[in-house]
Each structure stands twice: as C-alpha cells, then as structure tokens.
Amino acid sequence: MKLRRTLQGGSAWFLVGAFFFGCELIAAQNDGAPLVYPTAKTIDQVDDYHGVKVADPYRWLEDTDSADTKAWVEAENKLTFGYLEKIPYRSAIRDRMTKLWNYERFTTPVQEGGRYFYQHNNGLQNQNVLLVADSLSAEPRVLLDPNTLSADGTVALSGTAITDDGKLLAYGTAASGSDWQEWHVRDVDAGKDLPDVIKWVKFSGASWSKDGKGFFYSRFDEPKKDAATLRDVNYFQKLYYHSVGTPQSEDKLIYDRPDNKELEFGGSVTDDGQYLVIRVSQGTSPKNRLYYEDLTQPDSPVVKLLDDFDAKYNFIDNDGPVFWLATDLDAPRGKVIAIDTRHPERANWKTIVPQSVDKLDAANVVDNVFLLSYLKDAKTEVRVFDLNGKLLRGVDLPGIGTAAGFGGKRTDKETFYAFTSFISPTTIYRYDPEAGKSSVFRAPKVDFDASLYETKQVFYNSKDGTRVPMFLTYKKGIKLDGQNPTLLYAYGGFDISLTPAFSIPTIVWLEMGGVYAQPNLRGGGEYGEEWHLAGTKSHKQNVFDDFIAAAGWLIANKYTCPAKLAIRGGSNGGLLVGAVETQRPDLFGATLPLVGVMDMLRFQKFTIGWAWTSDYGSSDNADDFKWLYAYSPLQNLKPGTKYPPTLIATADHDDRVVPGHSFKFTATMQADQAGPAPVLIRIETKAGHGGGKPISKIIDETADEWAFVAYNLGMNVKLE
C-alpha cells in the first residue's frame, strides 16, 4: 500500500473558478487513444522520518546505472519522442529557433599583458571559441576551440585564468554537462598545451600567482568508485597550489579543514600579488568566512580575518593591507567597507559606501574608482564612486535591462560590460571610467524585429500582501481578452536574481503569439538578504504563493486563463513548478518542471545536495522535515488527481540534481494521473544540469518544450 500525504486545501485565497469562463480547458490531444505508460515496478521501501512512515516505492530509479532503470529510461523516451513527433509544427519551431540562433555573438573581453581575451560564436557552434587579440582593433586569432575536443560538442570550456603577462592560460573543461572539471595549461604564443593535467576539480576556478609560475585551485579527493562519481556526496574540498610543469601529485596543499567536511574554499590572488584571499563558504548560504595568506612571506600562516559566518563578505580589492569588501552585515541590501588587516577589530572598520535603497549586486575597482552595480526593482543601475565613497556619476545604460561585467584591475583605464534586455540581444560595450563614456565593442544582428514587441513591469500582491514585481513581454497591441497563451517562468531561491535577458527561445515564444511573464519571487536576491530569507526553510511556501499569485494576477487582468497558462522552471525552479503543480493542478494548462529537486526528503544524500540545506533545511532534522514534507513535490502527488499536461526533463549526466528526482516524480505522477493529460519525461543523454550544454541540444530541447506547450494549450502556430 502506498503511504502518501494528503494535500490539504489552503487555496481559498485565490478562487480560480470565476476565471474559467470563456476559456475551456484543452482536452489532451492523443488522437483519442490514451497514453500507455511504461511499467514501473514498485518495491516495499518505507522510511521512518521522526515517527512518520513515508513510502518510496520507486527508490530503485535512483540507481541510474542499473539495467532496470536503463530499460525504464529507454521506454519513457520512446513514449515521449513518439508523442512529440506527432505534433505538426514541432519541426517548424525547431527550424525557426535554429535560424534565429544563427547570429554572431561575443563575451566581454579580459585584458592581460596588453592582450585581449574573449569568446566568440559564429552562430550555431555548439561551444564558444576563445580568441586572443594583441589590441582591440587587431584581428583576433583562435586560442582554444572547445568544439574540437569532442565530436558532438559535449565538452565545454568551464573556466579560464590568464597570467598577468598574458602568456599562459589555465583552462577547465567539463564533459557531458558534468560538474567535474579537468584543468590544463596552454602556451598563448604557441597555442599548444603544456603537459599539466589537473583532475577532480569541482566548483572551483583558478588564480595565478603574480610570477605566473603556478595557480591556486580547489579540488575534492578522487572518488573511490568511478560508477558512483555522478551520485556520491562531495565533502572535504581542499585548496592547492599547482606549479607549472610538475605532476598534480606534487601540488602543495594550502588549506583544508578535516574537522569540517562541508567547508569549501575559493582562492584568489590580489592584483598586487601580495595576498591570497580565501573565500570560505558552507553550502549555498550567501554567508561566508574570509581568510588570507601573505604571499610575500614564505610559508606564512592562513589568517582568519572574518570567521563568524555572520554575513556575506565579497572581496573587491585592496590598497596594501587595507581590504575593500562588499557586505550585507547590518545592511541587507549591501554596502562597501574597508578593513585594515593590521587593525582588523570591528571597531576600526570604515563604511565607504553605505547601504542604498537598492540592492548592491556587484562591485569592482577600475581606474581608481568604485564601479557599483545595483538592482532597482530587478533592473541594473551602475554608479561610480571615488575611493572615499563620494558619488561621482551614474553609468548611462542603453535602456532598462541587465548590465554585467565592469571587471579589471585598479590600474586599468578601461573596462567592458554586456547589456541585454528581453528584446535586445546582448551587446558588448567598452567603458572609460575617467570620461564616463560607453562605446560599442561588438553588437549582434538578429533576424528579429524588436520594434513589434514591448516589455513592462507590473507589481502584484502575494497571499500575505507582499508586493512582488513581474516583467511582461508581448507583441504590441495585445488584446486583454483572457485568451493569450502565456508562459510564466521563475526561480525563487538561493539569493539568485532573475533580471531581463535576451533569449532565442523566448523570442520564438513571442513570435508564436505568446506572452512571456517573469516574476521576481521571494527567495531570490532582487531586494537583498531579507528578500532571500523570506523564501527559505520554513518560509519556502512564500515562494510558491508568490508564483501562484502571479498566475492569479495574469488571469484576473485578462492576459490569459488557466487553459492558456503554462509554467516553466529549472533546478530550484523545477522544484517550484513541481510544488505549485501539486498544490494547484487546476490552475495550469501545461507545466515544464526541468531538472527539478523533486524529493525534498532525500536531496541531501547525493553529490552537492547537502549544500542546499542552507535554503531548504534537511529531513534529518525533525522540525525541517515538517515543512519539507508539506510541499515536497514527490510526496505530495496524490492518486486520483487530474494533473495538467506535464513534460518533465532531466539528463543522464546531471550530477548536481541527480536524475533520480525526476525519474521518481515521473513514475509516481504517471501512476496517480486520473485525467487524460499526458505526463511525459524527456531524458537527454550526454548532458548534465545545463552548464556547457551544446547549442544543438538546447535547440532540440526547447523546441520540444515549446511544441508540447503549444499543442496542449491549443495554439495555432505559424512561423516563418
């Protein structure tokens, strides 16, 4: 017998029935034949969580390498792709997406040793190509083409670090979407790799010593079993220094903490080469510790500058022994402070730039000024301050959107940033801090008429009255008749901010006649740490309420209706979609839960899942278990429920949110589905959580998602 929690009401605050008028739910389109789901065996697995018995009949699907799981995956993919192949405009959506994606694009340049390094894609290359040029006007040459590292484009460039003289490049690669990285060293002049190979790196970059003789990086111990590298938990990260030309076995251990398995370390050398700054994090909490080592003194000890784990401390730069930091200590929206490491007592700290009404999102020092990026209702504003904290000017941005970059050294006379919005493709700008002027470095040309569309920001009230912002993008002249197909996308977690960004899939959705809605839910970082904490642990239901309220606002204001409303989210956003779908299955016409955290009782048992307990809590704790059990998507599926059309997606190499989450959620929902709507899962091969995914796979996946949604919302798709 299945032991399943019964989901209790709790939805009276939003009465959806009144909004169904004139918007009938679209019947599942299966040519009249009900879907026959693959047989998924059940096992007698029952766990005791603090006295509560919870069944887990599909536990066997967590073993992605077993013969039974592989057979189930094959059968599910056969069913899913058979369904998708019958959608008449699926190929037209893919063709349009492919055509639009075929445009030249660039990343922001990094200048080292007088050379400029940036990435380029000529359109449909699976991976960006790293270029180097001797000046901004010089013809660049290819330094590293990841597309040559695999036949199918599934090996991605995962990180780069360049020596001060611009002569050596350390670069990381990741295969098939895995979080595991392998690092190499390339001679920039020769364009060839040195013998150095660094393995078992995860969640780490690299930072060169000032002399260019080696770099700092963090790694885990080599897993004991190769077969389990994509599932086993990751603990005891260690910080090392690698000397160029030596084997990894001789790398020097700089810092580790055998007394605390959860600590992770990020080492960064200051621009003057004097200090190694060590950011010490624990899980995904934005709070961190900050240590440092004086590199001018041989074998100097690691100094614990900030060890209370009481706030976020981001190192910006230093003026000799004085460190400039961005922190949210007693300033949840962020401020800039100075700490003299010779007199580090808190009484001696100085506030350089106090907290603003807006959230401080990023901070840099270039050309002896602070370049501070703020979020004003999830839109970027950039302000320039002198080193004493006096406001000099704002940076004139091209419009309302997102600006990112502004990196460089204190001595640099220029910096670069990227600007984007929902209907403006990412353009790269050069900025002169002294003159306060921006100039276009690279501007893309996309086969898309942005003048036909518009974006506006609205605000709505959530269940508890909290005011939440939401961006809406749609074709000008929209009729507010409640009949517009609408895609609602959000995230809501881990202090991550969703800001305006150009996306080819979004553009195709707009061309299909859809409305794109993106609310900024609690749990994110749009308004600082208070906003983040309001969507964590025992407050996580606020995130789901914010999302449901966004749907309610769209319906009440006649943008759409339940039968025309689709929801989409990935990772923590996949959890979001799974949770609201189980809480309000009547509210949506189609759902896309992607690579989601669906089993909130067991997520901490795999790879880096333990790190998410800072946001979620853990079922190992009796109090945490209560709220996790109350919303966990897997445990809140209920037999006999009519669920909306659902296309779940995951990948066989996802070693962040292991595919067992989506596998078990699919098998359970298919067994529980009482209505005619399809419940399908699309399982990508040689892919992971999303990072480094080849363009070809992204196009195939999103085209399938759009086809599924359009088909189940009853859209009449006409594309060029």
Point out the residues that are catalytic: 571, 689
Residues in the chain: 720
Contacts of 84 (CB under 8 A, 6+ apart): 90, 682, 704, 707, 708
C-alpha to C-alpha distance for 2 and 5, rounded to whole angstroms: 10
Helix, strand or coil, per DSSP, at residue 250 = helix
Q: Could you identify the residue written with the tokens 């008749």?
A: 481
The DSSP code for 540 is: T
Tell me which H or E stretch contains 202: none
Residue whose C-alpha is closest to residue 588's, from 22, 13, 16, 14: 16
DSSP code string of 27-67: PP-STTPPP-PPP------EEEETTEEEE-TTGGGG-TTSH
Q: What are phi and psi of 582, to 5 degrees?
A: -75, -30
Retrieve residue 680's tokens: 């399908």
C-alpha to C-alpha distance for 115 and 134, rounded to whole angstroms: 5
C-alpha to C-alpha distance for 284 and 644, rounded to whole angstroms: 32
DSSP code string of 475-527: ETT---SS---EEEE----TT--------HHHHHHHHTT-EEEEE--TTSSTT
The DSSP code for 571 is: T
Retrieve residue 76's tokens: 């599910």
Task: Please state the separation of Cα 669 from the chain's center in Å.
Answer: 26
Retrieve residue 412's tokens: 């640099």
Alpha-carbon dihedral 611, 617, 620, 624, rounded to 10 degrees? 180
User: Are 182 and 172 a contacting pair, CB within 8 Å?
Assistant: yes
C-alpha to C-alpha distance for 531 and 358, rounded to whole angstroms: 12
C-alpha to C-alpha distance for 551 and 440, rounded to whole angstroms: 39
C-alpha to C-alpha distance for 602 and 604, rounded to whole angstroms: 5
C-alpha to C-alpha distance for 305 and 278, rounded to whole angstroms: 10
Greatest alpha-carbon pair distance for the chain in Å reads 77
Contacts of 233 (CB under 8 A, 6+ apart): 605, 606, 607, 608, 609, 610
Residue 518 burial (10 A CB sphere; 0-12, 13-18, 19+) = buried
Retrieve residue 631's tokens: 């919303």
C-alpha to C-alpha distance for 147 and 539, rounded to whole angstroms: 44
C-alpha distance from residue 511 to each of 516, 575, 706 (Å): 11, 28, 12
The DSSP code for 111 is: E
User: Are 244 and 168 a contacting pair, CB within 8 Å?
Assistant: yes
The DSSP code for 621 is: S
The DSSP code for 308 is: S
Q: In what order do the strands lie in the sheet with 359-366?
A: 359-366, 369-376, 379-386, 391-394
Tell me which H or E stretch contains 603: none
**Amino acid at residue number 654:** D
C-alpha to C-alpha distance for 250 and 603, rounded to whole angstroms: 35
C-alpha to C-alpha distance for 495 and 16, rounded to whole angstroms: 31
Residue whose C-alpha is closest to residue 466's, from 402, 383, 419, 533: 533
C-alpha to C-alpha distance for 556 and 453, rounded to whole angstroms: 22
